[in-house]
Structure 1
Amino acid sequence: MNANRISLSLTLERLWQFSLQYYGVREVKDACLHLQNQYKGNVNLLLLLKWLDEQNVCFREQDWHKVEECLGRSETLLHSYRDMRRKIKHHVPETLYRESLQFELQLEKQQQSDLVDCINALKLELNHAEPLTLRYCRQLGGEALYASFSEPVNDIANL
């Protein structure tokens, strides 16, 4: 058995609460939206990677494709819905638009559920290399955004 291999209990609720609080930081939210809109990054994946960074764990390099593949089921639906919501924003009553935002949040939560299932099926190890969030930003060509994600999350890391 690998001495670096660890066991970690990640639940959807733990990741969701972490995400809500972390994303609630203005600089983080702005950087996430920039990553999504300018670099075609996935915010839920970034939030998961940040949670793993806070735990000082990572998955194996050869498992990156598995993590990205698990997004496939929900990514197309989420993109299509998000585009539609943006188009109707000025053509529907505010209450209906707010309902559409709530539905989009449910789609986001489902995507996080898929990510949690995927991570829980992988072998995790202590991270002795660079943070996963840095690797992801670099992979997308948005390495400069990493500064917004690099600070430790003191109050919410143990969620």
Structure 2
Amino acid sequence: MTNQQAHQLLTMEQLWQFSLEYYSSREVKDACLALQNQFHGNVNLLIALKWLDEHHYTIQEQDWHRVEQSLGRTEALLHHYRELRRKLKTALSDTLYREALQFELQLEKQQQADLVDCINHLTLACREEHSLTQMYCLQLGAEHLQAAFAKPVEALLN
């Protein structure tokens, strides 16, 4: 597989739609929230890795730091905003809370755009062994969550 072929498959809109579909599974949503809240994992990164897994791509080991660095622009802002939104939940009207959630989604989209841009500048290889989601869960010490991410997306949506 050439890098150009991979780029033709990964767009911001495709990743966002994939995220919405994948996250709609209760099992995946619960595992993603556990990954985020208990293991300080990044759900957008996990979903991008799952997209790569589903297409049998892998990131070369020497490029992993570039992927992590691509999160830097939005990660701290997203984390602080999420914490603030949670603290204000009881003080906000339903309308304001929904607006806060919509703004958080915009930050999530920006983070995904940064990931797509980064991935599209990497030379991807065909995956032969462990999935990227499995490696990420192991890296975070969340290997028990891997079972929720191991199922093919199609199996979750049917």
TM-score, normalised relative to structure 2: 0.94
RMSD between aligned alpha carbons? 1.5
Query: Separation in 2 of the partners of 1:118 and 1:129?
Result: 23
Task: Report the AA paired with residue 148 of structure 2.
Answer: S
Tell me which residue corresponds to 2:154: 154
> What SS does the aligned partner of 1:154 have?
helix
Aligned residue-pair number: 154
Query: Separation in 1 of the partners of 2:125 and 2:146?
Result: 22
Q: Percent identity?
A: 61
Tell me which residue corresponds to 1:63: 63
Gap runs ≥5 in structure 2: none
Post-superposition CA distance 1:23-59 (Å, at most 9, x none): 0000000000000000000000000000000000011
Task: Report the AA paired with residue 52 of structure 2.
Answer: L
Specify which structure has the higher proportion of helix.
Answer: 2
**Residues 1:38 and 2:38 aligned together:** yes
For residues 32-111 of structure 1, the aligned pairs below 5 Å read 32-111=32-111
Report how far residue 154 of structure 1 moved.
2.0
Query: Separation in 1 of the partners of 2:156 and 2:126?
Result: 20
TM-score, normalised relative to structure 1: 0.93
Task: Report the AA paired with residue 25 of structure 2.
Answer: V
> What SS does the aligned partner of 1:34 have?
helix
Of 4-13 and 144-153, the range deviating more from structure 2: 4-13
Query: Separation in 2 of the partners of 1:154 and 1:77?
Result: 33
Gap runs ≥5 in structure 1: none
